[in-house]
Structure 1
Amino acid sequence: MNSRKVVFLFFSTMLVGAFGGAIAGTVLYDPLFAEGGFWNFIFGFIWLLGIGAAVSAIAQMGYFAYLLLNRLALSLFKTKKLWNRVQLFLIAFVFFDLFYFRYLAYATEDETIWGYLITPTLLLIFAAIVAYFKQRETHRRAFIPAFFFMYVITTIEWLPALIIPEVNDSSWLWIYLVPLLCANTYQLMLHHRLQND
């Protein structure tokens, strides 16, 4: 990719993440719009656009970090098959951590572990769907790397929201997650198209 394509990827991903975060925030975060009024809505929407843009910048750092990690891992593990197995193990490990450690840290006495399985499972299904479309547009071997990126790397990028007690189990978890999912899906599906142009 040349520098023009990298700049296009950067700004377009930021826009996608910003609007994804703003729409999620408008739907989920009532206190911001509780007073009503046109200008209150406009300022709140602009503020949410800024949050979405900042979160999408984190998503872009995660994407380029994964591209570097993937190259290093391929040279370290020697075969793509072994690296794919490691990625599948890490997906399972992160899935377990995502519900079990959140349950240990935040569950009250009347809560069961099953409630903490919903978000990791939905994220896993979403990652698998995106990976399937990536595989369909490129080649069969793209599924596991795309699945790993959409699940493990997105979870790592989401970690700051997950570990803050005031944010946990609130609409802010989704306001952080939606721009990450939008930005990561967009750049993953755009990358091969930019390379083929």
Structure 2
Amino acid sequence: MTLRKLIYWFFSTLILGCVTAIILGFLFEQAAGEVLFGSLTSQLLLGLTLAAVAELGFFAYLVFNWLAKGLLRKKTVYDTVMLLLILILTGNLLYLNFAKYQGEEFWLHLLVPTVIVLSAILIAGLKQKWTNQSAYIPTLFFVIAATTIEAIPSINPKEGEVPLLIIMHTVLVLLVCNAWQILQLHRWVQPSPAERGKKGKFAKSTKAGAKNTHKQKKKK
């Protein structure tokens, strides 16, 4: 990944988080009929914060994925571990909602894990379609794991309860940012046509130089 692409990833994710937070904030406030997220500035700062959290989560996933692939050489073992972690995270998320909410509120709060899992399946399907079949399970794991961990402060706060609309707002903004990052990753890491041309020219010049050196040695 070049510096230019790195800067693009950073700022594009921040902008996307801000825009998503403002749009969803407006829609949720209209649905609730009350102010939930404060002024436009507050919503902007909230979007920036959530996008920054998503970027940190994405970077952590890249490091984790690199280490996991180094330890688990076989693809089947790697996928099995990822699926087990997905089940553990989803189970913990369901337990958190069950322990915190009961009765009708519990069924309403089941929307949160349902939205996360269904969105992850959709995003993983797109990633598989745009890249290759082996990308499905890692993408599924990233979307579920990253979004769940990043949204924990809203889902399970230390004090009091957070309204469902605010939880959904947080989860959806994180999902949009995480989807953007994982779906664009293969484009950011692969070299552009111009970069490929430069590499090709460099390789040709290196080969030509090696041939000339070899010929000079033969003459001697």
Q: Which interval holds the TM-score relative to the shorter structure?
A: 0.7 to 0.9
Cα pair 2:97 2:106 within 8 Å, conserved: no
| Structure 2: segments with no counterpart, 5+ residues | 193-220
The residue that corresponds to 1:22 in the other structure is 22
Report the alpha carbon displacement of residue 113 of structure 1 after superposing the two structures with TM: 5.1
Greater mean alpha carbon deviation, residues 4-13 or residues 46-55: 46-55
Of the three residues 72, 75, 98, the one matched with 1:77 is 72
| TM-score when normalising by structure 1 | 0.86
The residue that corresponds to 1:61 in the other structure is 56
How many residues matched? 187
Cα pair 1:99 1:116 within 8 Å, conserved: no
Report the alpha carbon displacement of residue 114 of structure 1 after superposing the two structures with TM: 4.2
1:102-181 mapped onto 2 (5 Å cutoff) = 102-107=97-102, 110-111=103-104, 114-164=107-157, 165-181=159-175
How far apart are the structure 2 equivalents of 1:83 and 1:167?
A: 37
Report the alpha carbon displacement of residue 167 of structure 1 after superposing the two structures with TM: 4.5
State the secondary structure of the residue aligned to 2:39: helix
Alpha-carbon RMSD across the aligned residues, in angstroms, is 2.1
The residue that corresponds to 2:34 in the other structure is 31
Cα pair 2:109 2:164 within 8 Å, conserved: no
How far apart are the structure 1 equivalents of 2:130 and 2:175?
A: 19
Query: Which AA in structure 2 matches 1:163?
Result: N
Query: Which AA in structure 2 matches 1:148?
Result: F
How far apart are the structure 2 equivalents of 1:138 and 1:131?
A: 10
How far apart are the structure 2 equivalents of 1:44 and 1:106?
A: 29
How far apart are the structure 1 equivalents of 2:87 and 2:162?
A: 22
Greater mean alpha carbon deviation, residues 91-100 or residues 11-20: 91-100
State the secondary structure of the residue aligned to 2:104: coil
Change (3 A) 1:32 1:118: closer
Deviation per CA, 1:59-113: give whole Å up to 9, x if none: 0000010000001111122322212111111111111211222211232xx4375
Cα pair 2:143 2:179 within 8 Å, conserved: yes
Whose radius of gyration is greater, 1 or 2? Answer: 2
Percent of matched pairs sharing the same residue: 31
Higher RCO (CA < 8 A, seq sep 6+): 1
The residue that corresponds to 1:11 in the other structure is 11
State the secondary structure of the residue aligned to 1:31: coil
| TM-score when normalising by structure 2 | 0.78
